[in-house]
Amino acid sequence: MLGLNARACALLVSVSVVAMGIAATPVIAQTVESPAPAVKPKPIKKKRAGKPMAEVPLPQNVANANAQVGKPVYQSLDEITVGATKLEERAIDALAGVSKINQEEINRVGPARVSDIFTAIPSVSFQERGDEPGTAIAIRGLQDFGRVAVVIDGARQNFQRTGHNANGYFYLDPAMIGDVDVVRGPVANIYGSGAIGGVVSFRTKDVEDVLRVGERWGVLSEMGVGSNDWRANVSTFAAGRSQNGNVDVIVGGSYRAQSDYKNGNGVTVPNTASDIQSGLAKLTFRPADGHEVKVGFLGYDARYNTGQPSIPNTSGYATDTSNQTATLSWKYQKPEDRLFDYKASVYFNSTETDQTKNAGPASPITGAIGDKRSFTVDTIGFDIHNTSRVDTGPVAHAITYGGDYFSDKVTVKDPTGASGYTTPNGDRRVDGAFVQVKSNYSMFEFINAVRFDEYELKSGNFSTGGNRFSPKSTIGITPAPWVTAYATYAEGYRAPAVTETLVSGFHPGVGVSDGSTNYLSLFTLLPNLALRPEVGKTKEAGLNLRFNDVLKPGDRIRAKINVFRNDVDDYIDLVSFGPSQPLIQICPGPPGFCPVPIPWLTVASTTTSLVQYQNIANARIDGVELESTYDSGAWFAGLAGSWMKGINVSTGERLQSVPGQKIATTLGARFFDQRLTASVRWVSVAAQSGLSTLYNPATNYDLVNLYLAYQPTPDIVASVGIDNLLDRYYIPFATLRSSDGTDTALAGSAPGRVYKASLRVRFGGV
């Protein structure tokens, strides 16, 4: 069913048997130094409203664990997350589909782009072009226009530019990442408006990622090289701490470059070379006991060419994209203070893409060679919330309440082309407030929340808006320390984006043929001023499983299994309608645009002439997710997977954004007092099926990646790896069956085999 080859099937069977049939996810080759002695976690005080937790070995000095190049052995599902409720809890205890990606996983994978670190996270997929270094993330088949809330150090990333690409990119060098929280579904609606698909929250590197306990200064550096044809990266972070521990500072930068790569068919994909620079600076003050003020800045600049010149008459652009994020936060937390536990933050994010046309014919839509255009989205926002803890008899409550706001300003400049029509100028304001009550009594946990959202969208003389209350209710039961079962109903609300509402203008359509002559079918994009917000309504049930000392003393199994259904009312999709336009003869005939004809499309079945974002009655996405790990110290195994089906309930057609079934398996071992770690990861994804005839479905593919890390000293790690060992050709997302789709399909084909190596060094002192 998944199109697996014999080797892949054998690998899956072996890992499944070894892990005793309990599904298990990529364990992160967490360490190459001896594990620290097991430390019993502090018991959760009743006033903190915690549920029963299994005892697990946690690393000593957890706050500084990331600074240890070879971190003590412990699993990502045992790490602390705030993703689902804004309250600290272990990922394995969260009553939601929550995943944690830690620094060890990032280091082990050696990512070239952000999407590389998500290969084993269930229900997460990407729509990326090789000639565009930005990342477009989808969770449970929902993507674009903020359906997945992406935040970096608390700042929302809302950039969008319409073209032959996803409608929603963010820009971040993987070298900057400290860790990542992933929440699947609208259960995290307290994070803000729009996240009907989920939330991805990135924390960039901080002082704790460089300094060990007791150190006042330190430096962390890494350099790497790779093949296909060549790629290289280097990064350095320096951190310092005052003698009394009340002031921290970290500064760092990275540089990453690569040449045009070859896909699995050995074809060089043009314009996949890039040159990327990033910088980071954070200053932290602790003016009084329990108080922490942090000022941060993150900068990113990428230079590259976009467009596929090997496709006839396709436009290309010399591109410079910059992303700048500034944040200021104030946190207060003292265990003995039950009334106040708060965090307030304000942020500014600006993403700008400047382009100069350098390929393709002149046209009133794209301009001529040498013409310039720019796309800018500026976002200003804040988030503030507090938790108060009270007891009513034997029931402990954690009451979290707060509000948030962001505004987007879209500015497009294209004096010679039509970019201002397809990515319209405009402003959007979104704000909201919420209250959440988390209650614990004996083996039971209850989470009830309600959120109020409102929005306003403006452009010229046009203005629209709306508001809504969205509820959430979860019940969990922990009858034994090793198992928790839960059920959730949650709603989320997404306001239409400026582009969805106001996009307009003429666009060349698809190449068609009557068997002897090629023609061009045209279409026009129409605005929709009556577009209504989307409302996601998710029903979910899950199990969290924790086992210790299963096959030998000290080993651990962790697993999260959940099923869900998300019904999205008023789902917004691109719809074609109206009478067919007259065809324009293009080949043979007068010189001009002459795309390669699409064999399946004839004059008798030409597309309609009008295209518009419209509310369809309902979209439904069902799925099953699995994430689990087994770790004995000497060896580890993992299995993660997801199965999803998304349909347009009105038409019965599959949603093109919902990927095929996915299975990711990891198997590894540690040798020589755990100084040497070897692992293999296999990822298998099925092809999509049942899509509209407008789309070429994503291909099925099997990827095998190998990793080897050696740590001769506690502060030095040398790593080598092979990505796409079998040199498979694949396109991981659906593409349009049109002349536009040909460009996207070539740029969307992923790299073939890549050999890579890196050296990571850390040093510090008092």
Please state, in angstroms and rounded to a whole number, the distance separating the CA atoms of residues 309 and 101.
Answer: 37
Share of the chain above pLDDT 70, in %: 82
Please state, in angstroms and rounded to a whole number, the distance separating the CA atoms of residues 139 and 98.
Answer: 12
DSSP calls for 82-100: -TTTSS-EEGGG-SSEEEE
- pLDDT value for 738: 57
∠ Cα 430 435 439 (to 5°): 150
Query: What is the layout of strands, in order, in the sheet containing 148-152?
Result: 97-101, 177-184, 198-204, 148-152, 155-156
Cβ atoms of 326 and 289 within 8 Å: the answer is no
Per-residue pLDDT of 133-155, as tens digits, reads 999 999 999 988 889 999 999 99
Cα-flanking dihedrals φ and ψ of residue 709, to 5°?
A: -130, 135
Question: What secondary structure letter does DSSP report for 629?
Answer: E
- Going by C-beta distance under 8 Å and a sequence separation of 6 or more, which residues neighbour residue 749? 130, 263, 264, 265, 267, 269, 729, 730, 731
User: Does 588 sit behind a cis peptide bond, omega within 30 degrees of 0 on the bond before it?
Assistant: yes
- Backbone CA torsion sign across 560, 621, 8, 130: negative
Cβ atoms of 127 and 166 within 8 Å: the answer is yes
Examine residue 333 and state whether it is found in any structural domain, yes or no: yes
Cα-flanking dihedrals φ and ψ of residue 92, to 5°?
A: -70, -20
Please state, in angstroms and rounded to a whole number, the distance separating the CA atoms of residues 287 and 522.
Answer: 64
- pLDDT value for 336: 95
Please state, in angstroms and rounded to a whole number, the distance separating the CA atoms of residues 325 and 568.
Answer: 32
Examine residue 368 and state whether it is found in any structural domain, yes or no: yes
Please state, in angstroms and rounded to a whole number, the distance separating the CA atoms of residues 184 and 414.
Answer: 37
Number of structural domains (the chain) is: 1
Examine residue 1 and state whether it is found in any structural domain, yes or no: no
Please state, in angstroms and rounded to a whole number, the distance separating the CA atoms of residues 670 and 708.
Answer: 10
Please state, in angstroms and rounded to a whole number, the distance separating the CA atoms of residues 762 and 696.
Answer: 47
Examine residue 132 and state whether it is found in any structural domain, yes or no: yes
DSSP calls for 470-499: EEEEEEEEEEETTEEEEEEEEEEEEPPPHH
Pick the closest to residue 273 from 261, 256, 263, 265 (CA basis). 261
Q: Is 30 helix (H, G, I), strand (E, B) or coil?
A: coil
- Beta strand 198-204 with 148-152 is parallel
- pLDDT value for 507: 64
Examine residue 384 and state whether it is found in any structural domain, yes or no: yes
Please state, in angstroms and rounded to a whole number, the distance separating the CA atoms of residues 223 and 145.
Answer: 35
For the record, the structure tokens of 77 come out as 């599902």
Cβ atoms of 216 and 244 within 8 Å: the answer is no
Question: What secondary structure letter does DSSP report for 654?
Answer: B
668-672's contacts with Cβ under 8 Å and 24+ in sequence apart are 668/27, 668/29, 668/635, 668/636, 668/637, 668/707, 669/634, 669/635, 669/636, 670/29, 670/31, 670/32, 670/633, 670/634, 670/635
List C-alpha distances in Å: 483 to 37, 52, 235, 380, 553. 25, 10, 42, 42, 20
Please state, in angstroms and rounded to a whole number, the distance separating the CA atoms of residues 328 and 293.
Answer: 7
Could you say which residues of the chain have pLDDT below 50? 1-65, 68-74, 512-513, 584-607
Cα-flanking dihedrals φ and ψ of residue 118, to 5°?
A: -105, 10
- pLDDT value for 236: 98
- pLDDT value for 690: 80
Residue 246's CB is within 10 A of a number of other CB atoms, namely 14
Rounded to two decimals, the pTM is 0.87
Q: How far apart are the first and last CA of the chain?
A: 58
Count CA within 13 A, CB hemisphere, residue 279.
8
Q: Which residue reads 């500026």 in tokens?
A: 378
Count CA within 13 A, CB hemisphere, residue 577.
7
Q: How far out from the chain centre does Cα 350 lie? A: 19
Q: Is 133 helix (H, G, I), strand (E, B) or coil?
A: coil
Question: What are 523's strand-pairing partners?
Answer: 507
- Going by C-beta distance under 8 Å and a sequence separation of 6 or more, which residues neighbour residue 321? 133, 134, 171, 300, 301, 302, 304, 351, 352, 353, 354
- pLDDT value for 84: 85
Pick the closest to residue 294 from 302, 284, 279, 306 (CA basis). 284
- pLDDT value for 67: 54
Pick the closest to residue 542 from 627, 619, 448 (CA basis). 627
For the record, the structure tokens of 481 come out as 């320390």
Cα-flanking dihedrals φ and ψ of residue 301, to 5°?
A: -145, 125
- Backbone CA torsion sign across 712, 231, 166, 413: positive
Q: By residue range, what is the domain housing residue 343?
A: 6-765
Examine residue 343 and state whether it is found in any structural domain, yes or no: yes
Strand ranges for 578-634 from DSSP E? 584-587, 610-631
Examine residue 513 and state whether it is found in any structural domain, yes or no: yes
Q: What is the CATH number of the domain that holds 362?
A: 2.40.170.20
Please state, in angstroms and rounded to a whole number, the distance separating the CA atoms of residues 368 and 429.
Answer: 35
Please state, in angstroms and rounded to a whole number, the distance separating the CA atoms of residues 125 and 140.
Answer: 8
- Beta strand 137-139 with 124-126 is antiparallel
- Beta strand 505-513 with 518-526 is antiparallel
Examine residue 279 and state whether it is found in any structural domain, yes or no: yes
> Largest Cα–Cα distance in the chain?
85
Please state, in angstroms and rounded to a whole number, the distance separating the CA atoms of residues 230 and 224.
Answer: 11
DSSP calls for 525-548: EE--TTPPPEEEEEEEEEEEEEEE
Q: Is 392 helix (H, G, I), strand (E, B) or coil?
A: strand
